[in-house]
Amino acid sequence: MTHSLPVSGSLRNRLVVILIGGAAILAFLLFFAVRNYATQVAQQGQDNILGASVASILDAATIRDGEVEIDIPYASFSMLSTPFDDRVFYAIYQDETFLSGYPGLAVADRADRFQTITFRGEAVRMITAERILIGIDQRTRIRVALAQTQDALSGTLEQISRNAAILGGGFFALAALLSYWATSTTIGQLQRLTDSVTKRGPQDLSPFKKPVPAEMAPLVTSLNSLMGRLDQSLSQSEDFIAEAAHRVRTPLATVRSYAEATLQRVDKKENRQAMRSMVRAIDESSRAAGQLLDHAMITFRADHLEREEIDLVDLVHDLVLRLTPIAEMKDLELRLQSDAPVAYAGDPILIQNAVRNLIDNALKYAPSESAVDIFVTANTNTQIKICDSGPGFPSEEVDTLTARFKRGRNAEGTIGSGLGLTIALDVAKAHGGDLVLSNRPEGGACATLSL
């Protein structure tokens, strides 16, 4: 179950990109908003002083003896002084005539208006103001343009920008940290659910009961209902197999009972032979049915191998106890030879089934009043070896006997389905081992299940 699913991007990355990207945009907006606002405020300050200065110059304008006289107060320029020694330019016009100041500085068309222009290669902030002077017989318009370079302003702006950048950067870093934390917490919930699904054994199909966030509830609900259906269909097929076995075996058991009862009453040789054949045929079919079902179950379990720590000696010992009554019927001795417990991680049901099939075989082929030896060893690799003193495997067939439904040529007259060795081999392979058949030099067969 290692095939990978097609992946369409990462939820975590998407969240991180969206959250951090959003934080970056917000940080930039914050930076520009702060800078813009600061620029406006600073400009406003310069404008106000320029306004006050120009007003004080105009105030000083009078008509004396028919002449326009402007005595520019000291304060008019001193209020404009800055730590950066910004330069101040002015020009005074009477009507259209230039009176005083810097001749290149042209007044604007409209009065009381601030504008930023370039004067002598420098950006300057300029205001134009006008005043109508009314004398005895004249009426004249005085216009004053006052401009100041913006060194102090840009110095202030630079400082504010720096602070705004630090603020924006800090905001971004904090937001990024927060979004990383938020993403991890959110994804963490998913991760926990994934973990609890992964940790489950293949047989555990019970619904999830741990509380999950509301957004994940629909997913978990669907998962639970899927597992419910799976569980149901699994137990249905298990029930079906059990029921099928029941349906097949119960009538077989009845027929067998009849046949056996009849056998007790019949004396004629041919009739007895027929009844015995009938009983044997029934045994054969019921054994085949049982082993087919076992084989299906083993194939399923081998596909979903669930290993647990077991003691093989203990497991084989249980089997020996269970099979001893059968062995005693033939006066066979089942000898389990092992010194110490042999620990192994495997599926106990599979191994039990495999070993039972091998011991069954040995019991079937061993002659009466002999012994079947079972060795459980853990020297180089873990092995369970079962040896009898029967006829042994036909040497030319040793390699083909583990094939499905294949029976030895000397197995005529012994009931069997031909699935026992297949089952044992499948179990060995599922555990990464093998089944080796051999003959003892002193006669008899050995089956070695290595795991």
Partner 1 sequence: MKFLLVEDNQELANAVSSRMRLDGHVIDHAANLGDATAFVETGDYDLILLDIMLPDGDGRSFLKAHRASDLDTPVIILTARSQVSDRIGSLDLGADDYVTKPFDHAELEARCRAVLRRKAGKAQTVIETGGIIFDPVAGSMSVRGTNVTLRNRELRLLEVLINAPGQIFSKQKLADRLFSYDDDASENAIEVYIGRLRKHLEKSDLRITTLRGLGYRLEYDT
Residue 70 and residue 92 in contact, taking contact as beta carbons nearer than 8 Å = yes
Binding to partner 1 by CB under 8 A, coded x per residue (else -) over 299-338, reads -----------------------x-xxx-xxxx-------
Q: Which is nearer to partner 1, 212 or 363 (CB)?
A: 363
Q: Cα–Cα–Cα angle for 74, 75, 80, nearest 5°?
A: 115
Q: Does 11 bind partner 1 (CB under 8 A)?
A: no
**What minimum distance in Å lies between the beta carbon of 331 and partner 1?**
5
Q: Whole-number minimum distance, CB 395 to partner 1, in Å?
A: 22
Give the DSSP letter of residue 3. P
Contact 150, 86 (CB under 8 A): yes
Q: Which residue in the set 263, 378, 398, 436 belongs to the binding site for partner 1 (CB under 8 A)?
A: 263
* Among the residue ranges 109-117, 169-177, 179-187, 271-279, the one whose residues contact partner 1 (CB under 8 A): 271-279
Q: Which of 47, 122, 151, 283 binds partner 1 (CB under 8 A)?
A: 283
Which range in 9-17, 33-41, 278-286, 387-395 contacts partner 1 by CB under 8 A? 278-286
CB-based contacts of 449: which residues, under 8 Å, 6+ apart? 354, 355, 358, 383, 384, 385, 386, 424, 427, 428, 433, 435
Whole-angstrom CA distances from 383 to 342, 344, 408 are 10, 10, 24
Residue in 256, 406, 407, 440 binding partner 1, rule: CB under 8 A: 256
Q: CA 359, 361, 362 angle in degrees (round to 5)?
A: 65
CA 80/CA 137 separation, integer angstroms: 36
CB of 267 to partner 1, least distance (A): 7
CB 450 within 8 A of CB 382: yes
CB of 408 to partner 1, least distance (A): 15
- Name the residue with tokens 């137990």: 235
Q: How far is the CB of 193 from partner 1 (least distance, A)?
A: 31
Residue of the chain from 297, 305, 371, 378 that contacts partner 1 (CB under 8 A): 297
Q: Cβ(437)–Cβ(398) under 8 Å? A: yes
CB 178 to partner 1: min, Å: 54
Residues 337-356 that bind partner 1 (CB under 8 A): 349, 353
Q: How far is the CB of 236 from partner 1 (least distance, A)?
A: 14
423 binds partner 1 per the rule CB under 8 A: no
CB of 433 to partner 1, least distance (A): 20
Could you tell me which stretch among 4-12, 69-77, 208-216, 413-421 binds partner 1 (CB under 8 A)?
Answer: 413-421
Q: Nearest CA to 69 among 81, 58, 54, 80?
A: 58
One-letter amino acid for residue 83 of the chain: P
Of 52 and 242, nearer to partner 1 (C-beta) is: 242
Using CB under 8 A as the binding rule, whether residue 414 contacts partner 1 is answered as yes
436 three-class SS: strand
Q: What contacts 98, CB < 8 A, 6 or more positions away?
A: 91, 92
Footprint of partner 1 on 225-254 (CB under 8 A): 238, 241-246, 249-250, 252-254
What are 342's two structure tokens?
């042999």
In the block, tokens 């089942």 appear at 334
Backbone angles phi, psi at 285, to 5 degrees: -70, -35
**H or E stretch at 93:** strand 88-94
Q: How many residues bind to partner 1 according to rule CB under 8 A?
A: 48
Return residues touching partner 1 (CB under 8 A).
238, 241-246, 249-250, 252-258, 260-261, 263-264, 267, 272, 276, 279-280, 282-283, 286, 290, 293-294, 297, 322, 324-326, 328-331, 349, 353, 364, 368-369, 413-415
